[in-house]
Amino acid sequence: MATHSSGDISDAKFLTVAEVAAMMRVSKMTVYRLVHGGELPAVRVGRSFRVREEDANEYLRKSFYNAG
């Protein structure tokens, strides 16, 4: 897992796929596609994934600027 320079991993807030989907207003399947495609970093916990809130926000920021 890649670490980012902004803060310790223990300070990170992790979101479920459902929470990320609700935040982005997309389906859970879309979030799974982003994770499996490598566009959205995630941590696998058992059979589920967790996404750092910071990574989800960063993805949205990048997507917003790319869309313009």
Residue pLDDT, tens place only, 24-39: 999 999 999 999 999 9
Strands (E), the chain: 14-16, 43-45, 48-52
Fill in the amino acid letter for 4.
H
Write down the pLDDT at residue 63.
87
Residue boundaries of the structural domains of the chain: 13-67
Residue 52's closest CA among 62, 33, 7, 30?
7
Question: How many Å apart are CA 67 and CA 43, to the nearest integer?
Answer: 27
**pTM for the complete prediction?**
0.79
Could you say which architecture CATH assigns to the domain 13-67? Answer: Orthogonal Bundle (1.10)
- Residue with more model confidence, 21 or 9: 21
Write down the pLDDT at residue 8.
72
Six-digit token string for 20: 């990320």
- Kindly indicate the confidence band of residue 53, based on its pLDDT and cuts at 50, 70 and 90: very high
Give me the percent of the chain exceeding a pLDDT of 70.
Answer: 82
Six-digit token string for 24: 């982005």
